[in-house]
Structure formats: structure tokens, C-alpha cells
Chain A
Amino acid sequence: DTGVSQDPRHKITKRGQNVTFRCDPISEHNRLYWYRQTLGQGPEFLTYFQNEAQLEKSRLLSDRFSAERPKGSFSTLEIQRTEQGDSAMYLCASTLGGVEKLFFGSGTQLSVL
């Protein structure tokens, strides 16, 4: 499968712990997006990269969230000091060029106890 890959698929953690998710985009795609989705809601934009540069970050995103894309390939999303409100599906998507067609991964389901 040469699509967008996310790891892990599921993560259960205790409140206050740090977690890190990984996304491997489609190899030639230069743009990578992170979205968050909670039950009954659509995907909510978190941040995006063009190559290794983080070009936009949602104002709703707490300082506890940080994302990187070293060398413009895979990306990591870290949440520090997790809270129960962070429980959600975290989706990664990639594309070549603009938003005309985003390719989504299967997501990482985070549960904070």
C-alpha cells in the first residue's frame, strides 16, 4: 500500500503523559496536513507543512501541540501533558501542490484516560 501511513492506529494514555504520532505521506507529495476529528464532527485543521516548512498552524491549537517534518518527508505530531479533551482521531493527509485532492491516512485514535 503506497498511501498515507499513520502509526500507531490506536493510542491509550493517561492524562498528563506525552504522546507522539507519526505520519508517512505519499512519497512525492510536498504538502502534509494534520487534522483532528472528534465524534460527530468533521475533520478540524491543525497545521500543515510544505516540504519541511510549517506554513500554518490553527489558532485553536494549544501550545502543548507541536509538529515537525524534518527533511520534508515523514511528520510527527506531539501532544504534551495530554488532557481528556485531546481524545480524538488524528488524521494526516498529503498532496502534491494545492488542496485539490488530499489523500488521507487511516488516522490515529487517541484515548486519554
Chain B
Amino acid sequence: AQRVTQPEKLLSVFKGAPVELKCNYSYSGSPELFWYVQYSRQRLQLLLRHISRESIKGFTADLNKGETSFHLKKPFAQEEDSAMYYCALGGITGGGNKLTFGTGTQLKVEL
């Protein structure tokens, strides 16, 4: 079964401080990992995906298969980073595929 764990419901950091949002997953196949973000009063949207190995808005995430983790990192937090962040796991089941989401971490960047 697919499972995503985000241990922190709320993470509060000061502007300019480093950010790390934790995500661990459980999946028997070859995982596809994503981070989705929801800013206040906006729709849930894709932030980044592991296969792209890209940096979006200064955020990066590395897939660590040994530790089954996909933590989201940013060296210097900005006020506009305050949002709800969801880690998601994709996989092929029963002939189709879907995303399984974690419970989310609310990031609050304080001045």
C-alpha cells in the first residue's frame, strides 16, 4: 500500500532561516514523488517533482530511496513561502495511477 507521512503539522521559521519540510513514504514499487503547495485562498498546485531534479522558487527536494524520504528544502525562507505543503506519492495500481497525499505541513515564515 502507498503511504506518505509528514510528521509536522506546523513549521514556523524566521525570514532568512533555512527550511526543511519532512516527507517519508512507503511504497513497494518505483516511486514518483511530488510536492504540492496551497497558498492562502489559492488552488492546490504542483511545486516540484523528483524526476525533474529542478529548483522551483528556491526549493529543492532529493529522493532518498534508502531512507524512503523526499524532504523539501530551501536555504533562506521568504515571507511569500508561507503556505500549506503536501508531499505526494504516485504509483501504478490496478491498471491506472493516482497520487497519495500526506497530511500536509503548514509553513509559517515570520518576520
Q: Which residues of A contact B (CB under 8 A)?
A: 3-4, 33, 35, 40-45, 48, 50, 55-56, 91, 93, 98-106
B93 touches A56 (CB 8 A): yes
A44 to B103, CA, bound (A): 10
Chain B interface residues (CB < 8 Å from chain A): 4, 6, 9, 32, 34, 36, 43-46, 49, 51, 86, 88, 90, 93-104
Are B90 and A99 within 8 A (Cβ)? yes
* Residues of chain B with a CB closer than 8 A to A105's CB: 43
In the complex, the answer to whether B43 meets A40 with C-beta atoms within 8 Å is: no
Are B86 and A56 in contact, CB atoms less than 8 angstroms apart?
A: no
Give A103 to B86 CA distance when docked, in angstroms. 14
- The residue on B at minimum CB distance from A50 is B96
> What B residues does A101 contact at CB under 8 A?
46, 49
- Inter-chain contact B94/A56, CB cutoff 8 Å: yes
